[in-house]
Structure formats: structure tokens, C-alpha cells
Structure 1
Amino acid sequence: MAKRNNNILNIQDALKDFVESNKLDKGLNKVNVREAWSNLMGNGVNNYTTAIDLKNETLYVQLSSSVLREELSYGKDKMIAMLNEELGKELIKKIILR
């Protein structure tokens, strides 16, 4: 049985410790990236987005429209900056549109 810690922690620190000790960072980052994408891109892009996946600092976005994929490819650097700003940390270094 684990030893009880008598130090008083606020809930933010307790949750951060829980996430780190159970190695849940990657899963939470994937969820946060999906949420940030839907918030920043709006309904127009979200309607054509079929899959979003984050692997090793690369964001893979699958789109059902080749025209939209071509248009978004011109603004990859801006999208990376906006998504990282929304997430509050440098998670994404590259975007691949499929």
C-alpha cells in the first residue's frame, strides 16, 4: 500500500502529478490537438476533416476534399503556430495533410 503524503496540494498540482506518474501525457496531447483543430479551423474545415492524429511532433490530418487540402497546404506554418499557441506548448513541428 502506498504511503500517504501529508503535504497539502492544490488540485492542479495533484492532477499534473497523476498524469505524469501514469504516463498519460501522449493521450491527453492527442485529445487536446483534436480539440484545438476543431476550435481554430471552424465548421468549414471540420466538415471535411475525417481523421486527426499526432505522432512524434507530426500532426497527420486526413481531409475528404483535395481542393481544401491544397488550399491548407499553403498555410502550414501559420497553422502550426496557431495550434501550438492554442495548446500552450510546442507539440507540433510538422503537418501532413492527406
Structure 2
Amino acid sequence: MAKRNNDNQSIEDILKQFVEKNNLQSGLDKVDVREAWTNLMGNGVNNYTTAIELKHNTLYVQLSSSVLREELSYGTDKIIKMLNESLRKEVVKKLVLR
């Protein structure tokens, strides 16, 4: 029978240990980036967003409007900064609009 650990830990600490032990952080980052994109960009951009994918600190966003893609390409640095501030850590280093 397993021995019970009497050290009191917060749930936050236990969840952090679980995420680290099972290498789940990259998957959680992918979900968080998608959520941050939809929250920050609003309905106008989200209606034309067809796919969002995070690979190795690069966010790939597929848009169905070439005009919108061109318009957003002028502010990629600002978008990256806003996403990282929303996530409270630097997850996105590069943004590719397709």
C-alpha cells in the first residue's frame, strides 16, 4: 500500500508538477494561443480565420481574406506582443499569415 505524503501542497503546485512530469506544456500553449487569438482579434478577424497552429514558437494563422492578411501583416510585431502579454509569457516569437 502506498504511503500517504503529509506535506500540504496547493493544487496549483500539484498541477504544475503534473504538467512538467508529463510534458504537457506545449499542448497547453497551443490551446492558450488559439484562445488568446480569438479573444484579442474579435469577430471581424475571427470570421476570416480558418486555421491557427503553433509550431516551435511560430504561430501560423490561415486567413480566407487576402486583403485582411495584407492589413494584418503590417502589425505582426504588435500582434505578437499582444498575444504574449495575454499569455503572460513569451510563447510566440514569429507570426506567419497564410
TM class, shorter-chain normalised?
A: over 0.9
Counterpart of 1:48 in structure 2 is 48
Alignment gaps of 5+ in structure 1: none
Q: Give the root-mean-square deviation of aligned CA atoms.
A: 1.3
The normalised TM-score by structure 1 is 0.95
Q: Kindly, what percent of the aligned residue pairs are identical? A: 73
Deviating 4+ runs (over 6 angstroms): none
Deviation of 1:59 after TM superposition, in Å, equals: 0.3
Q: Give the distance between the partners of 1:67 and 1:2, measured in 2 at CA.
A: 61
Alignment gaps of 5+ in structure 2: none
Deviation of 1:7 after TM superposition, in Å, equals: 1.3
Q: Give the distance between the partners of 2:78 and 2:16, measured in 1 at CA.
A: 30
Counterpart of 1:22 in structure 2 is 22
Q: Which moved more, 1:5-14 or 1:43-52?
A: 5-14
Counterpart of 1:95 in structure 2 is 95
The normalised TM-score by structure 2 is 0.95
